[in-house]
Amino acid sequence: MNNIIKNLRPYPMEELNRIKAELKKKGVKIYDFGTGDPKEPTDPKIRQALIDAVPEVSQYPSVAGRKDLREAISKWFENRFGVNLNPDTQIIPSNGSKEAIFHFPLVFINTDVPEKRKVIFGTPAYPVYERGTLYANGEPVAIPLKEEDKFLLRLDKIDKSILEETQIVWLNYPHNPTGATASLSYFEDMYGICREYDIILCSDECYTELYFNEKPPSALQVGVEGIVVFHSLSKRSGLTGYRTGFVAGDEKIISEYKKGRASFGVATPDFIQAAAKVAWSDEKHVEERRKIFKEKRDIFIEFFDKIGLEYLYPEATFYFWIKAPKDMSGEEYAKHLLNYGIVVSPGVNFCAGIEIMNNTCQSKYFRIALVPTVEECKEAVRVWEKAHKDLIGN
């Protein structure tokens, strides 16, 4: 096993679960803004579709997935992004986006070609980009995302020698954990660089449907050759526990990836696919979810402005990326909030393992996920305000 893997800190969400369990033992009421797993109920027609599809006799599903699901995804993608995808050759169902992202480097990192083993991703980041690379024996390259760059990964600022050795670039906009968004022109610029250096551009787009004004674009709107996108119903439709999404893009890459996935045992069960088809075919429940997240977002915009915490204004996702008070790290502030039952994710949870090993992982930030209900959010800000005053003294 790779030495970096051995020394990785516990997966952040698992660590949060441990902390919450300790608080429960102490009888502390928990307001959980840590893990991005919202509580809004799954739409009844989606649940019913799953129930109706559970078979009397269970048999192995195929990696290629159900044709009717792929057709529904193709129709949705064209309606949403104006890009026509062939459902037979350009789309594969996945078990959410995480497993597909993790497995992708296992297929496309060739360890016999050591000069092309680098995988670039921004940090702070969803940990799976780095961890999937490490398990595939690739070489992760974590690029710090800067406030002055609006937390955009800037390939044009990376040394050419690194780009020449890169096999995969991961983009994730709208972004976890910061909530940053990217324009179509940004994707055009990054795509041009990836084509120049023969890099596969992977775009994790599982938050494109949680927006409040402008609709975020897809990387496939700027081209198809050399691009693969990853989508999920976890956030869009509240199907986190269903584990369902899709991978789409360049026909040659999808074909190669499909061959690899046959070895992983990740074919999505047919009854989950039946529910997914209903979800991709309906927008009404998604519009309702956006309204709820906007209401939660507005509660915290008002609250953070009131107590004077700085944050990146969220145009999309259900996250806030917030600066801790002066002279405190995000981790220190998060530990203070725990005393009041408020669980948030310190920015260091999203540092790359390489940064941790090199002792360069520090963060003024912390993240909240708008997971609790609207009423719970209103209650939480009252508790949080007391916690903040107890710390700051005014």
- pLDDT tens for each residue of 355-392: 655 556 668 999 999 999 999 999 999 999 999 999 98
Give the closest residue to 134 by CA, choosing from 11, 291, 281: 11
The confidence score (pLDDT) of residue 35 equals 83
**What are the residue boundaries of the structural domains of the chain, listed by start?**
3-41+285-392, 56-281
Give the closest residue to 186 by CA, choosing from 207, 166, 171, 165: 171
* CATH architecture type of domain 56-281: 3-Layer(aba) Sandwich (3.40)
Which segment of 97-101, 297-301, 308-312, 353-357 scores lowest on mean pLDDT?
A: 353-357
pTM: 0.94
CB contact at 8 A, 236 and 288: no
CA distance 379 to 387: 13
The confidence score (pLDDT) of residue 15 equals 67
Does 148 have pLDDT greater than 80?
yes
Q: Which two tokens stand for residue 319?
A: 């996250």
Mean pLDDT in the chain? 93
Which segment of 10-14, 265-269, 298-302 scores lowest on mean pLDDT?
A: 10-14
CA distance 310 to 96: 32
Tally Cβ neighbours within 10 Å of residue 303: 18
Which segment of 134-148, 305-319, 356-370 scores lowest on mean pLDDT?
A: 356-370
CB contact at 8 A, 120 and 158: yes
- pLDDT, tens only, 16-36: 677 778 888 888 889 999 888
CA distance 387 to 307: 11
CB contact at 8 A, 34 and 366: no
The confidence score (pLDDT) of residue 11 equals 58
Does 131 have pLDDT greater than 60?
yes
CA distance 66 to 46: 17
Q: Length of the chain, please? A: 394
Does 77 have pLDDT greater than 60?
yes
The b/e string for 155-174 (b: 16+ C-beta within 10 A; e otherwise) is beebeeeebebbbbbbbbbb
Q: At the top level of CATH, which class does the domain 3-41+285-392 belong to?
A: alpha beta
Tally Cβ neighbours within 10 Å of residue 35: 17
Q: Which two tokens stand for residue 266?
A: 């990740």
The confidence score (pLDDT) of residue 38 equals 87
Strands 227-232 and 200-204: parallel
What number is the average pLDDT over the span 98-115? 95
Strands 200-204 and 166-171: parallel
Q: Do domains 3-41+285-392 and 56-281 have the same CATH topology?
A: no
Does 206 have pLDDT greater than 70?
yes
- At CA 233, angle to CA 231 and CA 248, rounded to 5? 25
